[in-house]
Amino acid sequence: MATSSTTLLSPLIPATTPSINSPSKQFLLLQNRSLNRSKRVSLVVHAVKPPAGVEFPKVQPQFQPPFLGFTRTAEIWNSRACMIGIIGVFVVELIINKGILQVIGVDVGKGLNIPL
């Protein structure tokens, strides 16, 4: 098991809960906050042997970083969502007996309407 001991000092989190009853105590609290900024954060980690039965991999896995975020899993899920969307559009067209462009208000069947 790994053990760790952590000492965190933060200027935003006081060590004790201050009670503010008067303006003079508010001023002291603001002065104390500016004094705490000089304190540093320290972290200590101690490692021990793994428990019995834990085996480490013999070969380090080969990881290839994704090209511009295109990973195999993301592409599979995007293509599945696209297929579901296209099937949904076909179902809507079958139910209302109009094309999707006619549903959103585009005139269809008049060509490109370009004057020559």
Higher pLDDT, 16 or 57: 57
Domain total in the chain: 2
Global confidence as pTM: 0.39
Question: Do 71 and 101 fall into the same domain?
Answer: yes
Structural domain span for residue 94: 66-116
Residue 57 lies in a domain: no
Give the confidence band of 4 by pLDDT, cuts at 50, 70, 90: very low
DSSP string, 29-91: HHHHHHHHTT---EEEEE--PPPTT----SSPPP----BTTB-HHHHHHHHHHHHHHHHHHHH
Query: What would the pLDDT profile of 48-77 be if each residue is shown by its tens digit?
Result: 888 888 888 888 878 888 778 788 888 999
Average pLDDT of the chain is 75
